[in-house]
Amino acid sequence: MPKVSIKICATLHTILQDESFNNFQVVQLRDRFLSALSSNQSVSEAYKFIYRQVCRLVKKKALRKVNKESSKTVTYQKTELFDQINFVINDSIETSKPSQKLLDKTELAVIQQLQERLKQTEVDLLTSIGESEEYMRLYKSFPEMKEHLESQYMLARESSSKLLGQIKAIKSVLSHQQK
C-alpha cells in the first residue's frame, strides 16, 4: 500500500506526534496549539483551524472520531494508519490567512478612525446643543424675533438628534470591533 502524504502545519504536527497525546478533544488540541504558538491568534480562529485539520485527518483515516454514548463528548484517537502517514510540514498553512499582526494593525487602524470620528461627532453635538441653548436665550431676550429664532432652534435640535444617532451608531460599531 503506497504511503499517504498529508500536508500539516509544523506546530500541529509536533503536538500530534507526541505519543502521550491521544484520545483528545478538539478543545484540548486547540489549547495545546495556542500555548505552542508565539502569535496572539484568537481562540475562535484557532478552534476553526484545528477543527478543519482534525476533520481532514479523520477523512484521511489518520484519526478516528469516537462518540461516547454516556455524554455528548467527541474524542479523537490516532489510528494505525497515523504512524504510516508521510506528513509534509507546511508552515504556510498557519499563515494562509492574513497574519494576525496584519489583522491587528488593520483592526487598530479601524478602531482609531472610529474613535476619531466619535470625538468629532461628540464635538459637533456639543456645538449643536450650545447653538440650540443660545437660540432659547436669544428668544427670551428678543421675543419679537420669535418666529425666526424658533425655526433656528428647531433646526439645531434636529441636528442634535441626528448627531446623537450617529454617536450611538459609531459606539455600537466600536464595541463590536473591540470584541
Q: Are residues 48 and 113 in the same domain?
A: no
Q: Are residues 25 and 74 in the same domain?
A: yes
- Choose the final residue of a domain: 97, 112, 133: 97
pLDDT of residue 101: 56
Mean pLDDT score across all residues of the chain: 85
The secondary structure of residue 74, as a DSSP letter, is E
Q: Are residues 113 and 54 in the same domain?
A: no
Helices (H), the chain: 10-17, 26-36, 43-59, 100-141, 146-177
Q: Are residues 92 and 133 in the same domain?
A: no
Residue 175 pLDDT exceeds 80: yes
Q: What is the pLDDT of residues 40-97, one digit of tens each?
A: 778 888 899 999 999 999 998 989 999 877 777 899 999 988 888 888 887 654 444 4
- Helix-helix angle 100-141:146-177, to 10 degrees: 160
Quote the number of domains for the chain.
2
Q: Are residues 93 and 10 in the same domain?
A: yes
In whole angstroms, give the CA distance from residue 30 to residue 42.
11
Residue 119 pLDDT exceeds 90: yes
In whole angstroms, give the CA distance from residue 69 to residue 9.
32
Q: The domain that contains 90 carries what CATH number?
A: 1.10.10
Confidence of residue 129 (pLDDT cuts 50, 70, 90): very high
Q: Are residues 162 and 83 in the same domain?
A: no
Overall average pLDDT of the 128-155 stretch: 94
Q: The domain that contains 147 carries what CATH number?
A: 1.20.58
Q: Are residues 51 and 119 in the same domain?
A: no
Q: Are residues 84 and 123 in the same domain?
A: no
Q: Are residues 78 and 130 in the same domain?
A: no
Residue 128 pLDDT exceeds 60: yes
Cα torsion angle, 166, 169, 174, 175, sign: positive
pLDDT of residue 96: 44
Q: Are residues 123 and 163 in the same domain?
A: yes
Q: Are residues 43 and 91 in the same domain?
A: yes
Q: Are residues 54 and 109 in the same domain?
A: no
* pTM given for the model: 0.50
pLDDT of residue 102: 55
- Choose the final residue of a domain: 79, 97, 115: 97
Domain housing 110 = 101-177
Helices (H), 60-95: none
pLDDT of residue 95: 42
Confidence of residue 158 (pLDDT cuts 50, 70, 90): very high
The vertex-53 CA angle with 44 and 60, nearest 5°, equals 160
- Choose the final residue of a domain: 97, 125, 141: 97
